[in-house]
Structure 1
Amino acid sequence: MMSEQTSKGTLFVVTGPSGAGKGTVLGRALPAIDKIHYSISATTRQPRPGEIDGQSYYFVTHDRFRSMIDDGALLEYAEYVGNYYGTPVAAVDSELNAGRDVVLEIEVQGALMVKQKRPDAVLIFIIPPDFSLLEQRLHSRGSEPDDVIARRLEKARSEYQSGDRYDYIVVNDVLDEAVRELTSIIIAQRCKTEKRIDLLR
Structure 2
Amino acid sequence: MAKAFQTTTLNLLISLTFFFSFLILTTANDEYYNSVVQRKRQGFKREKLTHFHFYFHDTVSGKKPTNVKVAEAPTTNTSSTFFGMVAVLDDPLTVGPEPTSKQVGRAQGIVAATSQSDVGLLMTLNYIFTEGKYNGSSLSILGHNSILWALREMPVVGGTGLFRFARGYALAKTYMFNATSFDAIVEYDVYVLHY
TM-score (ref. length: structure 2): 0.24
Decide which structure has greater helix share. Answer: 1
TM-score (ref. length: structure 1): 0.24
Decide which structure has greater strand share. Answer: 2
